[in-house]
Amino acid sequence: MTTPPIIEFQPTEIDAIAATEGRVALLIGAEGKLDQAARRVNKLSRGALVRFVESEAFAKMKSGQAKTLAFPAGMAAEAIDVVRLERRPSQDDARKAGAALSKLRGDAALLLLAGSNSKVHEVALGLALRDYNFNAHKTAEASARGTITVMCSKPEETAAAAAPMAALAEGVFFTRDLTNEPANILTTEDFAARLAAMQEIGLDVEILEEDALEKLGMRLLLSVGHGSASPSKVVVMRWNGGEKDAAPLALVGKGVVFDTGGISLKPAGGMEDMTMDMGGAGVVSGVMRALALRKAPANVVGLVGLVENMPSDRATRPGDVVTSMKGDTVEIINTDAEGRLVLADVLWYAQQEYKPAAIVNLATLTGAMIIALGHENAGVFSNDDSFAADFLKSAAAEGEGAWQLPLSPAYDKLLDSRIADMKNIGGRPAGSITAGQFLQRFVQDGTPWIHLDIAGVASVKSETALAPKGATGWGVLALDRLVRDRFEG
Ligand code: BES
Ligand code: ZN
Ligand code: MN
């Protein structure tokens, strides 16, 4: 498991700077004013800091950016990293500043002289989130990571503000690890075992095996997993930190550990990317982890459908008709539209079993989502505009791109089937919307519901502001904030 770096907060100790090894970093606002610690760095480095701050190079720096003065004279440190950041920066700039420092440090120890900056805890979150590397399958011995120490004017207050953020970083790292993990390692069995291990942090975890799913009538979900040697499972994680008996928020995730398309086989090129097709379940798991670690005063239940979509003589065929747990029949036109089948049954089960106050489901559901919004925004679909607006607000506040698309009866009609209650695909036009319409058929009227299609944002091929290339953990921060703003207290 990849764990976020531990960040220590201490009072500023000017006399410790000269002998500090590794890297020393400073936050300096646009006006270039130096605080006491910065003045000491300047003195030790024989004026190098003032020369830099008065230079064109500093004037051109954007807020949140960092530049390095390497091997300063008069100091044991290998580098001084100067970050341009106002004393009262935006949350976004503060996180970016932290991320910039993480990139520069590599494995080196870091001492950040943060002075009286008002968003030191946000700088720390950016540092932690960008300090991720998926090295689980690199045989070279991992080099020891240097410590991160932050010296600031209110270390105790800052540490208290940073504590829930450390929980968030753990949640994000958990999501990224799950999403990056290849399918021969992260089988449905292995996934369930990793979730069961979260009982240690106070989550109540229940694993529904195939016989139980069969009894419940989750035939749509089971029909997806039929072709695989790995057994299908539904895992339920419960966090009851809120009022006793208060209806929970339900989070539902698509956990297709690998998607070949099944009998409707995908082309070979890029098929390896489908190791991330459990990204929705990964986000649900990461949010549950963060909520438990920060002991959130809210009731949240996370449900993930874990299956593998493989072709075999036991696999579902195009043309098969399968009955859902709800009772509606589905004509499977394309076995590659499997995520909606998994979610339909888990959504229905979540409503029957937990009577949730609201539902958010997440899935790497459609390639069409990437065509529509690329890798910048997840698609948001909802039956409740005020709930959707709340989520969009949470996502914007956390810098996670999200954009709402419509649902309507005209799109729903595209799912009508000649021989069953519905087809599992609606054709090429509006492919992401018809997938959303399919899901909505399994959501009871009156239950506020949001579907997040994260196909474009769960894992990306170039680095983002707070993550290296690969799994991003998109959604963990936004959903944690949604819980804080709408489901706590
Ligand atoms: N898991 C895929 C969607 C996907 C594609 C996620 C690319 C991430 C990146 C999903 O199961 C799928 O195959 N959807 C089909 C649906 C089609 C058959 C209607 C698709 O998008 O092609
Ligand atoms: Zn899929
Ligand atoms: Mn598919």
pLDDT digits (tens, 9 = 90+) for 359-402: 999 999 999 999 999 999 999 999 999 999 999 999 999 999 99
The closest ligand to the CA of 307 turns out to be 2
Position 351 scores a pLDDT of: 99
Whether 143 has a pLDDT exceeding 90, the answer reads: no
Whether 235 has a pLDDT exceeding 90, the answer reads: yes
The closest ligand to the CA of 367 turns out to be 1
Question: For residue 295, what pLDDT band results from cuts at 50, 70 and 90?
Answer: very high
What is the enclosing helix (H) or strand (E) of 238?
strand 233-240
**Rounded distance, CA 167 to CA 255, Å?**
23
Position 223 scores a pLDDT of: 98
Residue 277 assigned ligand-binding role: yes
**Rounded distance, CA 139 to CA 336, Å?**
35
Tokens of 52: 């830099």
**Rounded distance, CA 259 to CA 276, Å?**
9
Q: Which CATH architecture has domain 169-487?
A: 3-Layer(aba) Sandwich (3.40)
Residue range(s) of every CATH 3.40.630.10 domain in the chain:
169-487
Residue 315 · residue 262 · CB < 8 Å: yes
Mean pLDDT of 213-236: 98
Position 489 scores a pLDDT of: 80
Position 142 scores a pLDDT of: 80
Residue 76 · residue 101 · CB < 8 Å: no
Residue 337, ligand 1, Cβ within 6 A = yes
Q: Which CATH architecture has domain 7-153?
A: 3-Layer(aba) Sandwich (3.40)
Mean pLDDT of 258-263: 98
Whether 141 has a pLDDT exceeding 90, the answer reads: no
Whether 133 has a pLDDT exceeding 90, the answer reads: yes
Residues in the chain, overall count: 489
Active-site residue, 233 included: no
Position 160 scores a pLDDT of: 98
Residue 84 · residue 60 · CB < 8 Å: no
**Rounded distance, CA 414 to CA 38, Å?**
65
**Rounded distance, CA 489 to CA 484, Å?**
8
Tell me the per-residue pLDDT of 8-37, one tens digit each, with 9 for 90 and over.
999 999 999 999 999 999 999 999 999 999
Residue 81 assigned ligand-binding role: no
Residue 400, ligand 1, Cβ within 6 A = no
Question: For residue 343, what pLDDT band results from cuts at 50, 70 and 90?
Answer: very high
Residue range(s) of every CATH 3.40.220.10 domain in the chain:
7-153
Mean pLDDT of 150-177: 98
Position 150 scores a pLDDT of: 98
Tell me the per-residue pLDDT of 66-122, one tens digit each, with 9 for 90 and over.
999 999 999 999 999 999 999 999 999 999 999 999 999 999 999 999 999 999 999
Mean pLDDT of 432-450: 99
Position 13 scores a pLDDT of: 98
Position 274 scores a pLDDT of: 98
CA 129 to ligand 1 center in whole angstroms: 28
What does the angle CA 475 – CA 364 – CA 390 come to, to the nearest 5 degrees?
35
pTM value? 0.98
- Interstrand relation of 110-115 and 148-152 (parallel, antiparallel or unpaired): parallel
| Ligand 1 binding pocket mutation candidate from 336, 362, 424, 433 (most atoms within 8 A of CB) | 336
Residue 435 · residue 340 · CB < 8 Å: yes
Helix axes 120-130, 91-105, angle to 10 degrees: 50
**Rounded distance, CA 319 to CA 286, Å?**
36
